[in-house]
Amino acid sequence: MAPKIIAISSFKGGTAKTSVALHLGSALAKFHHKKVLLIDFDAQANLTTGLGYDPDEHESLAQVLQRKMNINQVTVSSSIDNLEIIPADTWLERVEVTGELASDRYSHERLRNLTKDLNYDVIIIDTPPSLCWLTESALIAADYSLICSTPEFYSIKGLERLSQFIKNISQRHPIDVLGVAISFWNSRGKSNDAFIDVIESIFPNKLLKSKIRRDISVSEAAIYGKPIFETAPTCRASEDFKLLTKEILSRM
C-alpha cells in the first residue's frame, strides 16, 4: 500500500511548522504505531537538529534528487521506534539550479517519484516558509497539505498567497488541504474571533479544533534533540499535539 504523504506548509517563518511536523510524526509512530518517515526539505534544517542530528554530518535529499545516491543511503533512525528521518543540508537551497536538475523541465516531479512507493504508512515533508521549488515539489509529491499558522496578522495574510499557490498546483496534481493548525494559541487572545473568521474565509471548514498552546517545553526539547513526548510528556503542548494527531488521523 502506498504511503500517505503530508506536506507541512506555511508562507511565514515562526508558525511552529517544524514543531508540528516533528511532533505529528513522533505521535503517529509512538502512540498510533505507524511507520513514519520525516523528510526535512528546508535548508534551515531545524527538523534535523530537532531530532538530534547535525546537518553538516549527513547527506540530504539533494544527493538523491541529483541521482548521486539512493534514498536509503540518506535515511537515518530516530530515538522513537518506527520513526526515521531524511536530514536537510544547505545544498537543498539551490538544488534545482544545480547539476542535471537545472536542465530538467520536470524536476519538480522527482520527489513524488522517489516517495510514492516507499515502505511507510505516513511520510511527512517539512517545507521552507516560502513558495519556492522545494515547496512546489513537496506539494506535488503529497496527498495532503497541512497548513500552519499563528494568530498574528502577517501569518494570516500569508495564508491567502499559500491558498492560491496550492490551488494552482491542485489543477495539475490532486492534493487535499488536510487542515489549518494554529500554534502559539492563547484562548484569551482579544483578536481570536477575527483571526478564525479570516482562516475560515480562506480555507472553509479546514480549521482544526485542536490548537497548540504556547509552551516553553517545545523549545527546551529541541535543545535535547528529542520530541516533547520524551522530554516533557505531561506538559500542555504534549497533550495538544496528541489531540492534533488524533484529529488529523480522523481527517485522513
pLDDT of amino acid 12: 67
pLDDT of amino acid 183: 87
Three cell numbers, residue 49: 537538529
202 within 8 A of 159, measured Cβ to Cβ: yes
pLDDT above 70 (res 122): yes
- Kindly state the average pLDDT of the residues 224-237: 92
Phi, psi angles (nearest 5°) of residue 84? -120, 165
pLDDT above 90 (res 94): no
User: 216 or 155: which carries more pLDDT confidence?
Assistant: 216
DSSP 130-141: SSSHHHHHHHHH
List beta partners, residue 144.
6, 176
pLDDT of amino acid 14: 64
pTM (predicted TM-score): 0.94
27 within 8 A of 112, measured Cβ to Cβ: no
Q: 185-194: b or e for each residue (b if 16 or more CB lie within 10 Å)?
A: beeeeeeeee
pLDDT above 70 (res 241): yes
Please count the CA atoms within 13 angstroms of the CA of 182 that sit on its side-chain side. 22
Q: Of all residues in the chain, what percent carry a pLDDT higher than 90?
A: 63
pLDDT tens-digit readout, 169-181:
999 899 999 999 9
pLDDT of amino acid 130: 84
pLDDT above 80 (res 155): no
Q: Of all residues in the chain, what percent carry a pLDDT higher than 70?
A: 97
- Kindly state the average pLDDT of the residues 100-105: 83
What is the number of other CB atoms lying within 10 angstroms of the CB of residue 104?
13
- Can you list the domains of the chain with their CATH numbers? 4-251 (3.40.50.300)
pLDDT above 90 (res 83): yes
Average pLDDT, the chain: 90
User: 98 or 109: which carries more pLDDT confidence?
Assistant: 109
pLDDT of amino acid 146: 96
Rounded CA Rg of the chain:
17
pLDDT tens-digit readout, 6-59:
999 987 666 688 999 999 999 999 999 999 999 999 999 999 999 999 988 999
pLDDT of amino acid 244: 96
- Kindly state the average pLDDT of the residues 71-89: 94
Confidence of residue 86 (pLDDT cuts 50, 70, 90): very high
